[in-house]
Chain A
Amino acid sequence: MTTDTNLLTEMEEIKTPVKQPTIIEIKDLKISFKTPKGEYVAVKDINLSIKKGEIVSLIGHSGCGKSTLMNAISGMQMPSSGEVTMNGKKITGAGPDRGIVFQNYSLLPWMNVYKNIYEAVDSALKDKTTAEKKEIVEKNLKMVHLYEHKDKLPKQLSGGMKQRVAIARAFAINPSVLLLDEPFGALDALTKGSMHIELLKLWNLDNRNKTIIMVTHDIEEAIFLSDRVVVMNNGPAATIKSIENVNIARPRNKRTIVDIPAYKEVREKLLTQLMVKSSIDDETVGFEE
């Protein structure tokens, strides 16, 4: 990897604006699907408001409707009842004001890295000139340190590099909300760690103005990145179990964050909510006598 991955902290100190307006508002959201066996309720009674510049993680077990909730924000999935608004306007479909990083990168395999980003920019930013679009693509490629790999096809890239292309593509359309659906799920622990730092760096570069909503099932990842962690109940008909604030000052440091009492506290809270059992009960181990 070509990046300065040994950096464990975000770079510069940025003064977070004191009061930010609400950008995403979810009210009494319910999403259900019609199946041959009848109605399947994925999520219900979801109420959540997210402020501009906030990083919020959605966490929960597999199949708890995290991705469904995410799709409701991205506009890929329409609510069965209730509504999702962005800047007060009801979301009725996907739009370039929300950039999405998909779970499995979703790069188009027949296009090189450059083209993958260019086609997205070309579609999302219609009023820019070709030269401006090219400049945006190049800027974003450099930002994720992939400029020298711009002519490669996705299959020639490692998982971490593909993920960076996907992130660059989402950033390139300059959305005010960034939606990440288990963005680092397929990466090894080392790559994952450096990607966390890179993501926060990009967020800082933009003066922490972008709102980031992320689906994950990694507790440490959720705490390190987020301002708030939304814990979901198990599906079907999943609801929000609780919302935990992460009161840890930024910039955060991967190595030292684990010693901060607030980190331990929130980690403990999340663990107890997500894990019914956190140790093996010796008596259940089936030793034959």
Chain B
Amino acid sequence: MNSNSITSKISHAVFYRLGRFFYFLCGFGIMLMLWYLISLTTKGEMPGPFQTMNVFFDLVLHPFYDYGPNEKGIGNQLVSSLIRVSQGFLMGSVLAIPIGILMGSSKMAMNLLNPMIQILKPVSPLAWFPIGLVAFQSAQTSTVFVIFITSLWPTLINTAFGVSTIPSDHKNVAKAFGFSTYKYVTKILIPYTLPHIITGLRLSIGIAWMVIVAAEMLSGGIGIGFFVWDSWNALSLEKVFSAILIIGLVGFVLDKSFKSLQTRFTYDN
């Protein structure tokens, strides 16, 4: 490859990215305009983008402070939500991945567990909140419990699917060369299933991040969901809009990081 084609390749990439960014700006602009119009038609009852931006930057520029139960910075709220999500998500994943592997590799385990999963999966995880309250006697722990339940299903199902679709070619290699169970699991099962597991984790964290807002509205105390509810009670829709934007951005970052993991561990022949 000569230097000329390298530079042209780079400039292509740069133009492509600039183009994407341009579209992003346009889309964002259209949204802001619509928002502004809606705010005008409601005669300011619905705060417009400019009022919201003021509040937003105010929140973002001073994210960490703690002046009592109803006076915490947006950073404190976010961090507490993220901690709960990661606790529930981690525990859910630690349970879901092995069970998924078991279901994928054993027909019996699949037949035994699948009907139960199919029935529990469509239930809104919030329905488990009262159960958590009784079991743990704490609203905060119940929130983690709800996230735990949320994180189970997509990871379970995707892991089981991944394991059950290991190509017979790969299995035959293990048979032909006499791989031990340990080697089969570490050199064939896990590498093949990893992209499926990560897909499951990505779906789980996405749903968990949606559910945490609702769960914290129920649990109260602290967290981004509580912040939304508290702002509504304080009649500050600017804060609600700001929170929506922040929740969206964090969710986007979470999704992107799992997506990049997924690409990292995907191999094709």
Binding site for B on A (CB under 8 A): 74, 76, 93-96, 98-100, 102, 104, 106-111, 119-120, 122-124, 153-155, 169, 173
Binary interface encoding of chain B residues 169-204 relative to chain A, with 1 for a CB under 8 A from any of its CBs, else 0: 110110111111001000110011000000000000
Contact check, A123 vs B172: say whether CB atoms are below 8 A apart.
no
- What DSSP secondary structure best describes chain A's contact surface? loop
Tell me the bound Cα distance from A95 to B178 in angstroms.
7
A-B contact list, 16 entries, CB within 8 Å: A74-B176, A76-B172, A96-B178, A100-B172, A102-B169, A102-B176, A108-B191, A109-B268, A110-B192, A119-B177, A119-B179, A120-B173, A123-B180, A123-B183, A124-B177, A124-B178
Contacts of A100 in B (CB 8 A): 172, 176
Residue from the set A76, A108, A155 with the largest chain B CB neighbour count within 10 Å: A108
- What DSSP secondary structure best describes chain B's contact surface? helix
Contact check, B269 vs A155: say whether CB atoms are below 8 A apart.
yes
Contacts of A102 in B (CB 8 A): 169, 172-173, 176
Q: How distant is A156 from chain B, measured CB to nearest CB, in Å?
A: 11
Contact check, A107 vs B177: say whether CB atoms are below 8 A apart.
no
Contacts of A169 in B (CB 8 A): 177
Closest Cβ neighbor of A106 among chain B residues = B169
Closest Cβ neighbor of B176 among chain A residues = A100
Tell me the bound Cα distance from A47 to B268 in angstroms.
41
| B24 touches A (CB below 8 Å) | no
Closest Cβ neighbor of A103 among chain B residues = B169
Cβ-neighbour of A109 out of B175, B177, B180, B267 (below 8 A): B267
Closest Cβ neighbor of A74 among chain B residues = B176
Cβ-neighbour of A111 out of B172, B176, B187, B268 (below 8 A): B187
Contacts of B179 in A (CB 8 A): 119, 123
Closest Cβ neighbor of B174 among chain A residues = A123
B159-173: which residues lie under 8 A (CB-CB) from chain A? 169-170, 172-173
Tell me the bound Cα distance from A220 to B20 in angstroms.
56
Tell me the bound Cα distance from A153 to B188 in angstroms.
15
